[in-house]
Amino acid sequence: MSDKSVSYWSNAEEGLRAVELRAAGFEPSEAMKTNAVVTIANPYTNAHRCNNRVRRIADLLVEEVSSAGGQGLLVGAPAVSDAMTQGTENAGYSLVSRDLMADCIETGHYAHHGTAMIVVSGCDKTGAAALMPLARTNAFGLVVYPGTSSPGRVDFEPWASKGNNLTILDYVEGAAAREAGRITQDELTSLQRCVMPGSGTCGAMFTANTMSTIAEAIGMMLPRGASHPADYDAASDIHDDVKRQVQASVEALYRLMEMGLRPRDIMVKEAFENAVATAYAMGGSTNLYLHVLAIAREAGVPLTIEDLQRIGERVPLIANLQPHGTYAMVSLHEVGGVPVVMKALLEAGFLHGDVMTVTGKTLAENLADAPLPEDLPDQDVVFPVARPLAAPGNHISVLSGSLAPESCVLKLSGKTLEEGEFRGTAKVFDSEQGAMDAIRDGRVVAGDVVVVRNVGPVGAPGMPEMVHLTIQLQGRGLGKEVALITDGRYSGVSHGILVGHICPEAAKGGPIGVVRDGDTIVINPITRRLDLDIPQDEMTNRMAQLGTPKISDIPENSVLGKYRRLVSSAHYGCVL
């Protein structure tokens, strides 16, 4: 039966229910015997490789629920792939889809009188959207990840030495390198053919795997569920490890119902701290800031952007995963997955071991038999905490300053700045395309700070990712010599000297709107400052003359128009 009581129905209404059930292909008498109505939330699409396996997983979940005496009811939601929207005029729909998916899942769950919920995630916004309705409804439930893409290999450098660890990052940076004349067309064609043999999300510590890690580390996904490959190749069935997760997840769901253990019993503040610490140790995406704040809000957990900074700044980088390292996510899976990272962090005192998880056990109990990195056979995928890939403070930091009075995020991904700061000359653009043209034309040189504004949650709207700009900089060998700052955001694929989420954004009158070509901009990770190096009087005068901010022209009644009216700043997670 449902959490929403139906005991008030009359005999006539019970008869109507029987009519509806029979018409939909269910036998009413059998339906009444079910021990649970389980919402199977499946953002399936055949449009892209991130979520094209989701329906297969959903069908298996329905079968497993049926075998357990329940009824699985499918609920759909739109799944947007950033890989298909980035760099296009439709890029704003990506972040917008997060909240839309959460609303769709909530609506389907209640409208069909669900008792419990299993959410299949996928591409990165789906990962956040999977946790949001679980926290919001507090329905018994958990998350199943459809899996990451298997990596590829080639026999020429600089990629051959990575072995079987090539991901989409290698192809897109290779494409930029080809454009700059740094590799041949034959080499680029080999990358294209070999880099991604099957379906699944982007294959390393990009946003999708960051969010699967968050789900596992927060306790809402079964152990090792965040790292498995989606399939063996494009022509195969889903991976056997995914099938095992499906079966185990249904068993876990029934255990949760027996125990009376709900999402908000699991998603407590200490669990959020565990999730953030684990994502930092693995080099997670800056998007975690937007998504973790949004999920915490749904769970009723008080969490701020400074809390995330406080948690993350003390955690060393120990997982050697792209984009900051060498390996693909599947390599982590092969040495034990996220539990290996978490065991190292727990032993070092970075995690709360007494929080509950969807296994029905505490985190410490889940990790009791997990190996430490130093106890594994010869490997360099996960480093011991005592010998990290990078010391604390060299991944993501929250900055503020004259260019970001509220906040912004700096992503270094384990790469330190030589002098402790980056001081460069501003080259200002009011669109991603304008900046792209300048990079391709050779107008961006070492020592520049590329400023892209009017691409925030309101200005764009939808806060698109500036990933193709970072790819161009890396592909042209400028990743360590040119900084990029924006009121937009970045993909997990992005790496370099990157500042995003600048708040207030230009469309809200933020000081990024007064930067001019030739200004000096200072990025300091030590003092956690982002500043425009001009006299205060000059800054005051410019702000007074700012005028009406620029925003894109979109229909007010469109999805993007509604989003623009409702969305908060990135400082609060772009929540509605």
Q: Catalytic residue numbers? A: 491
What are the CB-based long-range contacts (under 8 Å, 24+) for 80-85?
80/123, 80/125, 81/47, 81/48, 81/49, 81/50, 81/51, 81/123, 82/123, 82/124, 82/125, 82/207, 82/465, 82/467, 82/491, 83/48, 83/50, 83/123, 83/168, 83/202, 84/47, 84/48, 85/464
SS3 404: strand
Q: Are residues 367 and 476 in contact, defined by beta-carbon separation less than 8 angstroms?
A: no
Decide: residue 161, CB within 10 A, 0-12 exposed, 13-18 middle, 19+ buried: exposed
User: Which strand (E) or helix (H) includes residue 498?
Assistant: strand 497-503
| Sheet containing 37-42: order of strands | 71-76, 37-42, 116-120, 140-144
Give the tokens for residue 228. 């498995």
User: Which strand (E) or helix (H) includes residue 116?
Assistant: strand 116-120
The rounded distance, in Å, linking the Cα atoms of 562 and 30 is 43
The rounded distance, in Å, linking the Cα atoms of 369 and 564 is 48
**Per-residue burial over 6-34, b = 16 or more CB atoms within 10 Å of its CB, e = otherwise:** eeeeeeeeeeebbeebeeeebeeeeeeeb
